[in-house]
Each structure stands twice: as structure tokens, then as C-alpha cells.
């Protein structure tokens, strides 16, 4: 699902214009991103949580040349699904 598809669905279900819905979706994403940049954890009950994890530096190999390359440590976003979401994904259909 793309952001445009998400905006379309929300707009149809709420009766809010696509333009206003797009602004709201963008604000939500911006604020989640900004919170992560600041090192905060973002929790959406019933859906999951977003946080930042630090990957350690490591030695990797360039597949083209075979040379060793030092990959520096970096921060990456991480999403953990809630138990509710996991249960819905694995619910057996009768």
C-alpha cells in the first residue's frame, strides 16, 4: 500500500477531503520521524512501536574487488509489531 492509497482509503472512510487527509498523514509521518531523530520511542497501541537501534561497526567485504571495507556504526529505525497485530496476522480463517 502506498501513501496515496492510504490517503484515498482514509478520505473515503471519513469523508474528509484527500487534500486534508494527505496533510494529516504527512504530519503523522513527520512527527514519528522527528521523534525518532530525537531518540524517542513512538508507541501506537494495538499496532506497534518504532524506535532507533544502533548497528555496531563491522568489517565487510566488497564483492566486486574482494577488499575488506570498514562499515561504520549507524542508527537505523526499527519497528516492532504489537501482540494484537501479530495475532491478527496469524488468525486462522475458518
Reported as a single tens digit per residue, the pLDDT across 25-59 is: 999 999 999 999 999 999 999 999 999 999 999 99
- Examine the pLDDT at 7 and tell me if it is beyond 70: yes
What's the mean pLDDT in 62-71?
A: 93
CATH for 41-94 is 4.10.520.10
DSSP 8-state symbol, 72:
P
Instruction: State pTM to two decimals.
Output: 0.78
What does the pLDDT read at residue 53? 97
Query: What is the phi/psi pair of residue 79, to 5°?
Result: -115, 135
Q: How far is CA 31 from the centre of its chain?
A: 12
CB atoms within 10 A of CB 15: 7
User: Grid cell 514519528 — which residue?
Assistant: 32
Amino acid at each position: 500500500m502506498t501513501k496515496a492509497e492510504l490517503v484515498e482509503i482514509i478520505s473515503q472512510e471519513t469523508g474528509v477531503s484527500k487534500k486534508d487527509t494527505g496533510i494529516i498523514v504527512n504530519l503523522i509521518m513527520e512527527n514519528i520521524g522527528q521523534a525518532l531523530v530525537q531518540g524517542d520511542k513512538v508507541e501506537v497501541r494495538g499496532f506497534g512501536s518504532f524506535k532507533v537501534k544502533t548497528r555496531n561497526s563491522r568489517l565487510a567485504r566488497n564483492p566486486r574487488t574482494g577488499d575488506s571495507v570498514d562499515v561504520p556504526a549507524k542508527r537505523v529505525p526499527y519497528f516492532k509489531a504489537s501482540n494484537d497485530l501479530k495475532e491478527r496476522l496469524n488468525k486462522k480463517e475458518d
